[in-house]
A and B are shown apart, each in its own frame.
Chain A
């Protein structure tokens, strides 16, 4: 059935709230307000205040309490209103959620999900627009899921909720209103499986989240010029489907990585390193990265548009390999 990305996320939560009484939501303004981007709209009416919990402005607590409640058997889905605010609860993610299971010798599961919107493009400036998905991939113990379509969002979110590990689920603001076909009812996609969003033979574009949409548009234009690009969406950064990436690069011999986060220490660097280490012989051109510049995100539309990786920049990077 047709749903927007936001509706698909809501649908996944609804499926799980109905299926498992241990599942509950907590976050700021997720109840009456329905979430800053309307993702949780209607859930308070449907499931009541015990399951849909509005919190004060207390990010440390929102994440920290989910570590405790999940270790004690509940299944919290917590929301941080903007990805940027992860910075204020970094200890809870980095030193607690990520490490509890390991430090305790496998004796406790932190089966929590942390949902956060990422992304620029709405003039929200430097503290409300970042894409920080690479940041937490550096902390072993955390799973990072980053869907690019409504169906992927639903299938991966249900899997995330059922997973016994702490999962970070990145939603892109630009896609909340984007429609797509989404399977009804119980629908899961395994975590750690890439998806080829467009088959091609000449170059592999590895990309995720909103940049998948931009890369697909770029690939159409490239096709008109005789370059047949394969667009591969890993869908989860941790665990990463290395095999799928290497297989695609073996086929095309060329790799362009596209992400919205800044270039330096962005996750694209990790993928480039993996391909150089394990797929060097497949390559017949240098690996290229298309990413945001190493600056904070500017407010002015004139600057923000120049900042966000564009279709043109993707096309330019691909063409430079031929």
Chain B
């Protein structure tokens, strides 16, 4: 019970940190503080949080273009992330990657990725290395419903299955691949159905219920660590924003949008209710978590703004190590 309380509070904190970071990032982008693409994770916080709550630092994740949440949940530092969004020399990738390419290999974060579906073979390769080196580490591949149509998905699930690799495929089904609805881009409702084709377990769960995600991930990760092979977990969710900042999301039905953003469905509000209901926290506790997150994000912004631009000579470094 104490353990459960601790765990839920910890996950709540992570979700709040993601939400606060993401809200700040979209405002900063709108204010023209940095260029490029920002794909917001707002609304999907429970997934990265619930999955990564079960990981060690030595486990691996492969993230996506919508990657900020995964990075934060895996332990990424907000100041280094923010500096990377700003393209500053102090950022995670010295400003060379930007929002879509943040990586922290020391934390097992094998990068966000600008190529949809590219993370799945890489995560499966990381799992191959874990097994080869006889560690009990696992790898997680995060990807969207859209990515589950790509060949990389099918090849990765098949290979991971026949070789019983310690990888968990986490599909963040937010119903959309840019403007293409799931209904339009695949003839199934549950992406997890595809697990059957590769002879691995597949489950579909509420992607806005952090406890359910954490439980499903715990089981899949245990299975992977034991050497029993991969699992496909589909988390059904909704992205609050457009595909990227600047996309008004006009293709969404406003009724769906309203419903998913309501208190009844919003992942963060749901944890808050749960925490209060179980008497794990009171309103003041929750407010403190939010205030702390804001303080941390403000400091990250300050750090980013005060950091220097990379020197132009940096263009030529980090390629060919001769």
Residues of A at under 8 Å CB distance from B?
A: 28-29, 31-33, 36, 54, 56-58, 60, 84-85, 88, 122-128, 293-296, 298-303, 306-307
Which 10 A-B pairs have CB atoms at the shortest separation, nearest pair first?
A: A123-B35, A300-B87, A299-B98, A300-B95, A127-B114, A123-B36, A33-B179, A302-B309, A306-B312, A56-B185
Interface residue from A54, A85, A299, A300 paired with B184 (Cβ < 8 Å):
A54
B97, A126: Cβ atoms under 8 Å?
yes
Smallest CB gap from A87: residue in B: B115
Which of A31, A36, A125 has most chain B Cβ within 10 Å? A125
Roughly how many angstroms separate A124 CA and B180 CA in the complex, as a whole number?
A: 22
B150 at interface by CB-CB < 8 Å: yes
Interface size on B, residues (CB 8 A): 40
B116, A57: Cβ atoms under 8 Å?
yes
B31 at interface by CB-CB < 8 Å: no
A299, B97: Cβ atoms under 8 Å?
yes
**Minimum CB–CB distance for A146 against chain B, Å:** 23
Interface residue from A36, A294, A296, A299 paired with B36 (Cβ < 8 Å):
A299
Roughly how many angstroms separate A296 CA and B310 CA in the complex, as a whole number?
A: 16
Roughly how many angstroms separate A300 CA and B311 CA in the complex, as a whole number?
A: 10
B310, A302: Cβ atoms under 8 Å?
yes
Interface residue from B37, B113, B177 paired with A57 (Cβ < 8 Å):
B177
Roughly how many angstroms separate A128 CA and B96 CA in the complex, as a whole number?
A: 13
Give 15 A-B pairs besides A294-B319, A299-B101, A300-B89 with Cβ atoms closer than 8 angstroms.
A28-B177, A33-B179, A36-B178, A57-B149, A57-B177, A123-B35, A123-B87, A125-B114, A127-B100, A127-B113, A293-B315, A296-B96, A296-B319, A299-B93, A301-B309
Roughly how many angstroms separate A36 CA and B95 CA in the complex, as a whole number?
A: 25
**Minimum CB–CB distance for A312 against chain B, Å:** 13
B319, A88: Cβ atoms under 8 Å?
no
Which residues of chain B come closer than 8 Å to A298, judged between CB atoms? 95-96, 310, 314-315
Smallest CB gap from A60: residue in B: B151
Which of B36, B37, B88, B147 has most chain A Cβ within 10 Å? B36
B87, A303: Cβ atoms under 8 Å?
yes
Per-residue CB contact flags for chain B residues 70-113 toward chain A (1 = under 8 Å, else 0) read 00000000000000000111000101111011000000000001
Smallest CB gap from A126: residue in B: B101
Roughly how many angstroms separate A152 CA and B296 CA in the complex, as a whole number?
A: 52
Interface residue from B117, B184, B310 paired with A303 (Cβ < 8 Å):
B310
**Minimum CB–CB distance for A125 against chain B, Å:** 5
B101, A57: Cβ atoms under 8 Å?
no
**Minimum CB–CB distance for A236 against chain B, Å:** 28
Roughly how many angstroms separate A124 CA and B177 CA in the complex, as a whole number?
A: 19
A302, B87: Cβ atoms under 8 Å?
yes
Roughly how many angstroms separate A294 CA and B37 CA in the complex, as a whole number?
A: 24
Smallest CB gap from B113: residue in A: A127
Roughly how many angstroms separate A307 CA and B316 CA in the complex, as a whole number?
A: 9
B146 at interface by CB-CB < 8 Å: yes
Given contacts A125-B101, A299-B95, contact A56 B180 (CB under 8 A): yes
Interface residue from A60, A122, A294, A295 paired with B35 (Cβ < 8 Å):
A122
**Minimum CB–CB distance for B130 against chain A, Å:** 26
A58, B179: Cβ atoms under 8 Å?
no
Given contacts A33-B179, A57-B146, A128-B37, contact A300 B319 (CB under 8 A): no
Roughly how many angstroms separate A224 CA and B251 CA in the complex, as a whole number?
A: 52
Contacts across chains A and B counted by CB atoms under 8 Å:
116
Roughly how many angstroms separate A128 CA and B98 CA in the complex, as a whole number?
A: 12
Chief secondary structure at chain A's binding surface: loop
Which residues of chain B come closer than 8 Å to A300, judged between CB atoms? 87-89, 95-96, 98, 309-310
Which of A60, A84, A301 has most chain B Cβ within 10 Å? A301
Roughly how many angstroms separate A306 CA and B309 CA in the complex, as a whole number?
A: 12
Which residues of chain B come closer than 8 Å to A127, judged between CB atoms? 100-101, 113-115
A307, B315: Cβ atoms under 8 Å?
yes
Interface residue from A32, A54, A58, A296 paired with B149 (Cβ < 8 Å):
A58
Which residues of chain A come closer than 8 Å to B88, judged between CB atoms? 300
Which residues of chain A come closer than 8 Å to B180, judged between CB atoms? 28-29, 54, 56
A85, B96: Cβ atoms under 8 Å?
no
Can you list 8 A-B contacts (CB < 8 A)?
A28-B178, A56-B177, A58-B150, A58-B151, A126-B97, A127-B115, A298-B96, A300-B96
Which of A29, A126, A298 has most chain B Cβ within 10 Å? A298
Smallest CB gap from B144: residue in A: A57
In the complex, chain B residues 301-321 whose Cβ is within 8 Å of any chain A Cβ? 309-310, 312, 314-316, 319
A302, B101: Cβ atoms under 8 Å?
no
In the complex, chain B residues 122-165 whose Cβ is within 8 Å of any chain A Cβ? 146-147, 149-151
Which residues of chain A come closer than 8 Å to B149, judged between CB atoms? 56-58
Which residues of chain B come closer than 8 Å to A33, judged between CB atoms? 178-179, 251
**Minimum CB–CB distance for B38 against chain A, Å:** 10
